Amino acid sequence: MENPWKIAQQQFDRSAEILGLEDWLRLKLREPRRVIIVSVPVKMDDGTLKVFTGYRSQHNTARGPAKGGIRYHQDVTLDEVKALSMWMTWKCAVLNLPYGGGKGGVRCNPKTMSTGEIERLTRRYTSEIFDIIGPEKDIPAPDVNTDGQVMAWIMDTYSVLSGKNVPGVVTGKPLDIGGSEGRNAATGRGVYFTLLNYFRNKKQSIGARSVIIQGFGNAGRYAAMLLESAGFKVVGVSDSKGAVYNQNGIDVKDLIRVKAETTSVVNYKEAEKISGEEILYKDADVLIPAALESAITYANADRIRAKIICEAANGPVSNEADKILQERGIIVLPDILANAGGVVVSYFEWLQNMQSYYWTEQQVNEKLELMMKTAFDNVITLAEEKNITLRESALMIAIKRVAEASKIKGLYP
């Protein structure tokens, strides 16, 4: 796999060059402000002790506290977390949220751990990063293999250590403890809005456009549901165990049931079973990578047949792949715009926590739609004006905003 941190830094360097950013800002913004590496000792169910490695990276806080998810995965690395934190800085800036970027992760395989082991790991990891997180410092959220329950344990641990209830320390919480309506579906809903915005902008109808989705977790599942309800035809879906494809369409509700009952989409019967790799190369109008980084690289970019790639995952397309796709006329709706629905509703959750006043799902979705549309319009307008890609445009808007904030604040001391 290509190193995501190298990819993120190259993207930054290129955009900084186009923007003509001053040297001191280039040097400052191409590194994370702070990274912390912690050992997380966990007593396993069989009585043995295992020590996991945890990370938290805060890339930038010029526009507000750091914000970004926590990932549990056996392949988590420091470089991955650093890259994801830089992308969070840009994502929050494109959406004009008062946040910087952060990301965290623990190198573990939660699929082989019991609920009790995951809870103990979460609580110990939280206590190790306690000093650098908080509603005004750095606010974690769910990412790959973490969910509302994990957020609840983080909030509880942080609250116990603080001696008071602190719901605003994490977002993506269950509703009963201060979560927001609409947060679970928010990333998928943002992907859906981005595609609708794109087709509307191009004055193209949705028709029965076909969609392939790589990854059927939080981001992929809700995107599938919403797109199907708008008339799109979901023809292929994969998860870590393989893929299913049916050119006549897959019933998304049924697929969700099969995944819930059997843990994988591959057990869905009304479709052809193929490999997770093959599904990427099938015919479709839209391909939505919603799993991990570097799904599309220089090694396979020329095999993609979709006309539009909408990045629900962070960093699924490498820089070399970006170039190949551009040459082939394939449109990429970039992650820092397309998957920002999650962090937008996280921002709404944080606001509701501060005010102890809660909004309806309709209010949340309407505000999300408006923010996604404003950001989309800004990105596409600049892209057309400068004849650049949507990723270049989104990065330029974001980096300019962060650079402006850094410049106004100046350098301490």
Query: What does the block give as tokens for 290?
Result: 């919603």
Q: Does 215 bind ligand NAD (CB under 6 A)?
A: yes
What Rg value do the Cα atoms of the chain yield, rounded? 20
Minimum CB–partner distance for residue 23 and ligand NAD (Å):
31
Distance (Å, whole) CA 295 – CA 277: 9
Distance (Å, whole) CA 150 – CA 99: 22
Minimum CB–partner distance for residue 144 and ligand NAD (Å):
4
For residue 242, the tally of other CB atoms under 10 A from its CB is 17
Are residues 185 and 261 in contact, defined by beta-carbon separation less than 8 angstroms?
A: no
Considering only 105, 178, 236, 342, the residue that binds ligand NAD (CB under 6 A) is: 342
> Which window, 44-52, 125-133, 213-221, 355-363, contacts ligand NAD (CB under 6 A)?
213-221
Using CA atoms in the order 202, 204, 205, 207, what is the torsion angle rounded to 10 degrees? -120
Q: Which of 67, 82, 91, 103 is catalytic?
A: 103
Please name which of 329, 279, 275, 276 lies closest in space to residue 302, comparing C-alpha atoms: 329
Considering only 54, 65, 102, 142, the residue that binds ligand NAD (CB under 6 A) is: 142
> Which window, 43-51, 212-220, 358-366, 371-379, contacts ligand NAD (CB under 6 A)?
212-220
Total interface residues for ligand NAD by CB under 6 A:
24
Q: Does 313 bind ligand NAD (CB under 6 A)?
A: yes
DSSP class per residue in 323-370: HHHHHTT-EEE-HHHHTTHHHHHHHHHHHHHHHT----HHHHHHHHHH
Cβ proximity to ligand NAD: between 29 and 337 the closer is 337
| Known catalytic residue at 103 | yes
Quote the Cα angle for 80-179-115, to 5°.
Answer: 60
Considering only 15, 61, 318, 339, the residue that binds ligand NAD (CB under 6 A) is: 339
Considering only 99, 216, 232, 350, the residue that binds ligand NAD (CB under 6 A) is: 216
Longest CA span, the chain: 64
Q: Does 118 bind ligand NAD (CB under 6 A)?
A: no
Query: What does the block give as tokens for 224?
Result: 């599938």
Cβ proximity to ligand NAD: between 218 and 406 the closer is 218
Distance (Å, whole) CA 326 – CA 62: 32
Please name which of 290, 195, 193, 188 lies closest in space to residue 238, comparing C-alpha atoms: 290
Q: Does 349 bind ligand NAD (CB under 6 A)?
A: no
Considering only 95, 266, 292, 364, the residue that binds ligand NAD (CB under 6 A) is: 292
Q: Please give the residue whose beta carbon sits closest to ligand NAD in the complex.
A: 217
Minimum CB–partner distance for residue 221 and ligand NAD (Å):
7
Considering only 83, 108, 144, 226, the residue that binds ligand NAD (CB under 6 A) is: 144
Minimum CB–partner distance for residue 100 and ligand NAD (Å):
16
Which residues are tagged catalytic? 103
Residues that bind ligand NAD (CB under 6 A): 142-145, 187, 214-220, 238-240, 276, 290-292, 312-314, 339, 342
